[in-house]
Structures are given as structure tokens and as C-alpha cells.
Amino acid sequence: MADRLELDYNNMLAPRLGGRGLTPEALDRAAETFRAVHADVERRRAAGQLAFFDLPYEDRLVPQIRAFADGAGQSFDTIVVLGIGGSALGTTALHHALSRPFWNELDDEARDYFPRLYVLDNVDPSTIAPLLDRLDLRRTLFNVVSKSGTTAETAAQFLIVRDRLIRELGQDGYRRHLVFTTDPERGALRRIAREERIAALPIPPGVGGRFSVLSAVGLLPAALVGIDIEALLAGARDMDQRCRTDRLADNPAGLFATLQYLAHTEAGAGIHVLMAYSDRLYALADWFRQLWAESLGKRFDTDGAAVHRGPTPIKALGATDQHSQVQLYAEGPFDKTITFLTADQLPCDLPIPHAYPEVEELRYLGGHSLGELLRAELAATAAALASHGRMNMTIRLPRIDAHAVGQLIMALQIATIYAGALYHVNPLDQPGVELGKVLTYGLLGREGYAPPAAAEPDPRWVAR
């Protein structure tokens, strides 16, 4: 079907790589393994342990978000998302993929009267202070996104914004400029929402940050800037249905996970590059980076053995990174797979005019288009990497629209769960970030927490 995401993995296999890469036989064996992986995932899903699978089927949420977004659209010309990590990356990915480029620079008409959108995914005061100084708070809505309601970065942003809102709009007016996305029952944000009558949308309890883009976390900001969230969810549902099969060759998420896992464990390629050949798809590679790294990078396997496992995801952009990273990808160690991400149709194209018929180095470009050039560069880079014996595959979207992006997001989320099963790690936890959080609390003097044991740097090992 023309509307379906396509995965071409010819260049992962030895016949195209001069003997390097995976053998078709290894893939056949992996198809057997995949049946068991698939059965296990279906079982955990049926047991309610994989709540993100249900998000595209949440019928009641979409009208609620739509209603809120329609109302807010009348009152606000700027939306600011306060969140970090899984509360920010998905929203940024949707916005970059599906809104017009340079969105915040466009005038109201060019934005179809949808609001500007800022995602504050950090706590750098030199970014946040000038932004807050510049915004008209009376026309700005702040969406505070935190599952737990206690994320330090988001809490700090919230306290600063709340103070400004109260000073500008008074104790009565400020709450209308806030909407929380948080746990439906627990946590500081939920409690504040109740006590101060602030609008709040739920994040289903079993859905972790990096699997939350298709919940209110991503859907509310997306709807606010006019993205077709119904089509996004329809695409996700279509991909989910496609992945109900345990036949590996027909299951794109299964193939992606299996190929990456085999490349890592059988061919030593533990660095997984996702290289978007489209400015619009680049932020999806950043979103994927969290999904893959935080889900699979684990000290213990599911049997409790210390394994220090996990592939390293990298985001890259074509054609740009041909002039930065492809030298390493082509000639460096055989430790990488490259997954190209592209779309059959770009949202628009630009013809390259004929000029300088006497200049051989320019003449050949005339009559082509920028889209053709970009596509040619992708095909040439894929072929060149294969010639160098480098495993690569291509995810091809039919076009860059909400339905296609929904398919992609769901495919990569499901692939992450399959990969967790293949690597024998729990893809849903992140115990390795606790120590850093606790030490931060200690440094800030939070009750009951200690700062890092004070070891002054040895001056012999500091160059000043």
C-alpha cells in the first residue's frame, strides 16, 4: 500500500557488502527467535505491562485535547512547554516534522493563526531569561509537563514562570495561563492543580516519559499548533496492527530491532546512527536517541547479571553530515549501522536553474531540483557505504505528514520493546540516572540528601 512506511534492508546483508554484514541464514535463524520475542511482548501487553501500546486507541482523550486546544487557540498566541527529556523531545519532533519551518518567525497569517511554540528542554538561564522578558505573558500559555511532578528542571522552570504570571496577572488571573500534563492522581503538580484549580491532562500511569509522545504529553502541544493528531494516532494504530504478526519479514519493528541486534552482537556494530535526509525529520532522530539509549543501556540483564549492555544511538542529518561524519562511517571501524530516514515525497521542491553552460562543475546541476539532489545524495551515500562494506538500511515514509510520522513513532517504540527482549534488559526503567539526581539534591541542600563526597580535584590533574 502506498501509504505504508517501508524498510529496505538489502544493504544490511552480506550479498551487498562484499561478504561483510549479516548472512541471510543468520536472519532466518533470527526469524525463529523473533517468534518467541513477539509472543513474550504480546503476553506482557495483554497483561497490561506495556501501556504505551494503548495510547493510539484512547478515544476519549482526543476530543478533550481538541476542545482545550480550540479554546486556548482563541486566547493565546504563544505556547511554552516546560519539560525535559521525554516531556520535550517528542513534542519537538512532532513540531519540526509537521509544522512549517521557521515557525516562530512567521507572522500570524503564515502560521494559520496557530500560536508560536517554544519547548524549554533545559534550564540554561541565558536562554530562558531573554525569552521570558520578550513574551507577552497575557497572551502566553505555559504547558508544564512532568509525569512525577517533581523533575527538578521542570519544577524550577515552573516556579519562575508562576512567579512572573502572578506578578503580571494577579493571584486570580495566573491559573488560566497554565495547563499541567502529569500523573492522573499523584505528585506535586496534580496536587497543585487540584488546590489551585489549574487545568490538567493525564499521563497514564504505566506510560514512561520516553514512550509518552502519543499521550497528552505530545498531543496537546501538537494540537495547539494545528497538527492533525487524529491522523497521527491513525498512523500509529496502522503500524501497531502491522506489528501484530510474528512473521519477521512482515513486521517492520521486528526487523528494525532484529537487524540492529544482530549487527551489534554478530558483527560488532554497536553504534546505531539514524540519519534523516530531511531537515524536518532530524528531530525525530533526537527523540529516537532517548528511546534507544535509555531503554537498552543497562547494567543488569533481566536475570540480574551485571552485563553493562546497550547500543549507542547517534543522530545525523543528510546531506549535511556527508560533509562531517561520512568519512568516519565509510572508512573508520566497522562498528556502526546507518539507518537512513527519508520520504518519497517532500513537502515542496525547488528547481535548479540552468546557468553557466561553460562551467563544467556547475552545468550538470541545471534542470534538476533540490529534492532530486537530496535524493541522489542519499542513494549515492547508501551505495558508497555498501561498497565500503558498511551495513545500512533505509526507512522510507510515503510523505512527511501526521499519518506517516505516527507510523514511524509507533514502529520505533515497538522496536525498542522487541530490542529489550533481544538484549535481555528491561526497556522501561532507568536506574542509572538516580545517583545524579540524588547528588544534585544534595548539592542544592534538599533535606535528607548529601552532596558528592568532597574530593577536591588533585591540582596535578588540572591544566590551568
Residues in 298-317 that interact with its own copies by CB under 8 A: 298-299, 308-310, 312, 314, 317
- Asked if 381 interacts with its own copies (CB under 8 A), we say yes
The DSSP secondary structure of 385-410, one letter per residue, reads HHHTT--EEEEEEEESSHHHHHHHHH
Q: How far apart, in whole angstroms, are the C-alpha atoms of residue 401 and residue 399?
A: 6
Residues in 197-236 that interact with its own copies by CB under 8 A: 209-210
Q: Which stretch binds its own copies (CB under 8 A): 11-19, 41-49, 175-183, 224-232?
A: 11-19
- Asked if 124 interacts with its own copies (CB under 8 A), we say yes
> Radius of gyration of the chain from Cα atoms?
24
DSSP-derived pairing of the beta strands 306-309 and 298-300: antiparallel
- Asked if 364 interacts with its own copies (CB under 8 A), we say yes
323 is catalytic: yes
Q: How far apart, in whole angstroms, are the C-alpha atoms of residue 153 and residue 107?
A: 31
**Which amino acid, 346?**
L
Site string for its own copies, 154-193 (x = CB under 8 A): -xx--xx-xx------------------------x--xx-
Site string for its own copies, 229-268 (x = CB under 8 A): --------------------xxxx--x-------------
In 129-149, which positions are buried (b, 16+ CB within 10 angstroms) versus exposed (e)? eeebeebebeebbbbbbbbbb
- Asked if 435 interacts with its own copies (CB under 8 A), we say yes
Q: Which stretch binds its own copies (CB under 8 A): 36-44, 116-124, 200-208, 212-220?
A: 116-124
| Cis-peptide into 231, omega within 30 deg | no
- Asked if 450 interacts with its own copies (CB under 8 A), we say no
- Asked if 36 interacts with its own copies (CB under 8 A), we say no
Catalytic residue among 323, 331, 434, 456: 323
437 is catalytic: yes
164/202 with CB nearer its own copies = 164
Residues in 402-431 that interact with its own copies by CB under 8 A: 430-431
Cell of 434: 538516580
Shortest Cβ 237–its own copies spacing (Å): 18
| Among the listed residues 318, 298, 324, the one whose alpha carbon sits nearest the alpha carbon of residue 309 | 298
Q: Which residue has the cell 513537502?
A: 347
CB atoms within 10 A of CB 361: 7
Shortest Cβ 64–its own copies spacing (Å): 27
Between vectors from CA 197 to CA 196 and to CA 201, what angle results, nearest 5°?
120
48/125 with CB nearer its own copies = 125
Q: Which stretch binds its own copies (CB under 8 A): 35-43, 82-90, 211-219, 220-228?
A: 82-90
Q: How far apart, in whole angstroms, are the C-alpha atoms of residue 201 and residue 182?
A: 6
38 is catalytic: no
The answer to whether the CB of 84 falls within 8 A of the CB of 153 is: yes
Between vectors from CA 208 to CA 207 and to CA 210, what angle results, nearest 5°?
120
Q: Which stretch binds its own copies (CB under 8 A): 30-38, 41-49, 274-282, 412-420?
A: 274-282
Q: List the catalytic residues.
A: 294, 323, 437
